[in-house]
Structure 1
Amino acid sequence: MSWKNQSGGPWGNGPRGPWGSGPSSSGPTPPDLEDLIRRSQDQLRNILPSAFGGKGIAIIIALVVFGWFMSGWYVVRPNEQGVVLRFGAFQGVTQPGPNYHWPYPIETVLTPRVTEFNRIDIGMRVGEDSRRSSSGMRDVPEESQMLTGDENIVDVDFVVIWKISDPEQYLFNVQNPEGTIKAVAESAMREVIGRTNIQPILTGARQNIETGVQELMQSVLNSYKAGVQITQVQLQKVDPPSQVIDAFRDVQAARADAERVQNEAQAYANRVLPEARGEASRVENAAQAYRERTVVEARGQAARFIKVFDEYQKAKDVTRQRMYLETMERVLGGMDKVVVDQSATRSGAGGGNSGVVPVLPLADMLRRQPAPVVQPQGGTR
């Protein structure tokens, strides 16, 4: 027995279903689809003028085709390069200026900014809560805390500056270029920090760390063919963890004092040693000069004695008298006393002291006389 022959079904008499009234055969019939299409065509003919027949449709089609061809023109800005894709596949690179490609959907163009320098912050963020801090940055410990080569923890915040070097590789070889660059930068920094002790990291090894990270990042990204050039790596903050930063500062101050004392000692040694060497050289030169002078004088005295001895052998009396007179002249020449030979005066004519003329030493008397005392005028009477 079919469902139509039942008088209302199992839920009672009449055309009712379990959820209320069922379909009624006396309701409106659905519209005919062919009749609806025919009416639409008649309305379109009434709207368009009769003269706008096949020729007008051809003009419209031509205009549409012309506009479609004109949509292939595009302009590449000075800081961009155009990457043309034909059905999604790489076709070529166009330079800045007006260019043309086959309209969509045959060809499309992408214009990455190849001369723009991009920045990625690692270990810090500019967030909504950064307004509470004076520096305007929010620290990200899971990115900044790293382990050094001597098993110490250091907090490193740094910035990576990069730009696009190859648009084709940048667009098609790496799915997320910025995320890849960030991951490579963090990995490279951890590797370089892991090979370095904490003391150079906190003091004078910043330039070496930046250069090492940049070279390592560029090598890894080149192996990925990411089409990216790393132009600079800048260390922003390199500090120990906040829990031990005071102890590290004390150690740093002690090391600075030690270096200062060593520098002062080295400066003192650099000043004293040349002076001592100069004094020793002076004494040595003086001794050498004294030795040479003494030897020369001794040789001269010996030569003089030999000459005098030769003369003495020739005329002993005359030489003996001459030597006596020269010796007395040398001995008595600086004395202010006069020695009179009595035998010489007796042998003179007339005898007595006629050969001696007394001399009054006025010059010596004036030199020995004290200066006169000048009495002040207006004294007591």
Structure 2
Amino acid sequence: MSQDDGGFPRNILNPQGNNPFGGGDGGGVEIDPEAVGKTVFVVFTLVLLAAIAWSSYYQIAPDEEGVVLRFGRYHKTTQPGPHFKIPLGVDRVLKVPTQRQMKMEFGFRTDKVAQRTSYRRGKEALAESEMLTGDLNVADVEWVVQYHIHDPQAYLFRAREIDEVIQDLAEAVMRQAVGDVNVNDLLTGGREALAANVKAALSQATAHYDLGITVDQLIIQDVNPPEAVKPSFNEVNQAQQEKERAINEAMAQYNNLVPQARGKAEQKISQARGYSAERVNEAKGDVASFVAVQKAYARSPKVTRTRLQLETLQKVLPRVTDKWVVTGAGSGILQHLKLGK
């Protein structure tokens, strides 16, 4: 084989310079199998080493954890950062977003998140939201389940189609809870209590099946009657609101008038009791005075009679404007007193 000054084969395809087509003038090309084989081996080795190096390195994001499978079986869980694994398919890494809050929507789907978020409802969402209440009415319930993954191994291997399992569990728990309340509670003020009960039941169910998730929040977005009977429900709700308003107005008037009437009644009773005590005391005083006079009269009638006359005149005379004093027995002349003056 001919070489240049560097010792590298000058022509691995025609090292002798002979004409493979029979020309014999050295202008043809002749393939050297040994040199071709070495070159292919070197190229294959370099590609293999590059593939091994590339497949042995992996990176876990800050909000993820990596589950390493060795020959398809769980081996270990790796934390965020760079890691190495056995290449060529021996180790396989599944990345699980453990630090990210997951969300499932029931009864609606978020179409576009923007300043004005848009939603859509299809047949699947409508089938999720229509439920039978405890008083045999149909309610259209829309809710959201928010959760995070705390055990990547359990999340990946405790159940097949884990998202469908979580969705079915949430829907079953919600339907059971809605079936225990009446539609009025759902449409008015019973949503918070219902959401708390469903969250507790769903957390218990996911822990029982060891799904590796924690339910963070359950929010009831909206509760409406079905579209077919929505006008009738609105009329009923309006009538109930008017009923409540009339009751509240009547109670307000009751609370205003009844205390006033009770106050006036207490005032009358107090006045009557005061008047009664006054009259009784006056009567007792009159009796005591009469008894005292009667005893004095029994002891000295003349003095007592004179004293009574004088006391009576003392009370009467100040109210008399004109006074006539007649002295003596008279001279037989009829005296005329102008009493009508």
- What is the TM-score when the length of structure 2 is the normalising length? 0.72
Corresponding residue for residue 35 of structure 2: 42
Please tell me whether residue 137 in structure 1 is matched to residue 110 in structure 2.
no
How far the C-alpha of 1:225 sits from its partner, in A, is 1.0
How far the C-alpha of 1:95 sits from its partner, in A, is 4.4
Structure 1 segment 165-244 matched on structure 2, within 5 A: 165-244=150-229
How far the C-alpha of 1:134 sits from its partner, in A, is 9.3
Q: Deviations over 1:159-182 (max 9, x none)?
A: 111111222211221222222222
Amino acid at match of 1:165: H
Q: Partner of 1:218: helix, strand, or coil? A: helix
Structure 1 segment 342-357 matched on structure 2, within 5 A: 342-343=326-327
Amino acid at match of 1:199: N
Cα pair 2:131 2:138 within 8 Å, conserved: yes
State the alpha-carbon separation in 1 of the partners of residues 289 and 39 from structure 2.
155
Corresponding residue for residue 74 of structure 2: 90
State the alpha-carbon separation in 1 of the partners of residues 39 and 70 from structure 2.
43
How far the C-alpha of 1:73 sits from its partner, in A, is 7.4
Q: Partner of 1:309: helix, strand, or coil? A: helix
Structure 2 unmatched ranges of 5 or more: 1-30, 331-341
Please tell me whether residue 116 in structure 1 is matched to residue 100 in structure 2.
yes
Amino acid at match of 2:282: E
Cα pair 2:110 2:118 within 8 Å, conserved: no
Q: Partner of 1:151: helix, strand, or coil? A: coil
State the alpha-carbon separation in 1 of the partners of residues 212 and 130 from structure 2.
29
Corresponding residue for residue 232 of structure 2: 247
Q: Partner of 1:179: helix, strand, or coil? A: helix
Q: Deviations over 1:65-104 (max 9, x none)?
A: 9x95995675551x333434444433444445x4656543
Q: 1:177 to 1:73 in 2, by over 3 A?
A: closer
Corresponding residue for residue 27 of structure 2: none
Say which of 49, 59, 65 aligns to 1:81. 65
How far the C-alpha of 1:227 sits from its partner, in A, is 0.9
Say which of 300, 303, 314 aligns to 1:318. 303
State the alpha-carbon separation in 1 of the partners of residues 225 and 104 from structure 2.
22
Q: 1:225 to 1:330 in 2, by over 3 A?
A: same
Amino acid at match of 1:137: R
State the alpha-carbon separation in 2 of the partners of residues 236 and 200 from structure 1.
15
Q: Partner of 2:136: helix, strand, or coil? A: coil
State the alpha-carbon separation in 2 of the partners of residues 175 and 238 from structure 1.
32
How far the C-alpha of 1:226 sits from its partner, in A, is 0.6
State the alpha-carbon separation in 1 of the partners of residues 117 and 86 from structure 2.
53
Cα pair 1:148 1:196 within 8 Å, conserved: yes
Q: 1:83 to 1:332 in 2, by over 3 A?
A: farther
Q: Deviations over 1:131-167 (max 9, x none)?
A: xx99542343222222222322222222111111222
Q: Partner of 2:131: helix, strand, or coil? A: strand
Corresponding residue for residue 322 of structure 2: 338
Q: Deviations over 1:287-332 (max 9, x none)?
A: 2222222222211222222223333333332222221121122123
Cα pair 1:76 1:82 within 8 Å, conserved: no
State the alpha-carbon separation in 1 of the partners of residues 285 and 215 from structure 2.
86
State the alpha-carbon separation in 2 of the partners of residues 189 and 126 from structure 1.
20
Structure 1 unmatched ranges of 5 or more: 1-37, 49-56, 347-381
Corresponding residue for residue 373 of structure 1: none
Percent identity reads 31
Q: 1:218 to 1:316 in 2, by over 3 A?
A: same
The alignment covers a number of residue pairs equal to 289
Q: 86-95 or 240-249, which moves further after superposition?
A: 86-95
Q: Deviations over 1:249-287 (max 9, x none)?
A: 111111111111122222222222222222222222222
Please tell me whether residue 289 in structure 1 is matched to residue 289 in structure 2.
no
Cα pair 2:65 2:78 within 8 Å, conserved: yes
Amino acid at match of 1:221: T
Cα pair 1:68 1:103 within 8 Å, conserved: no
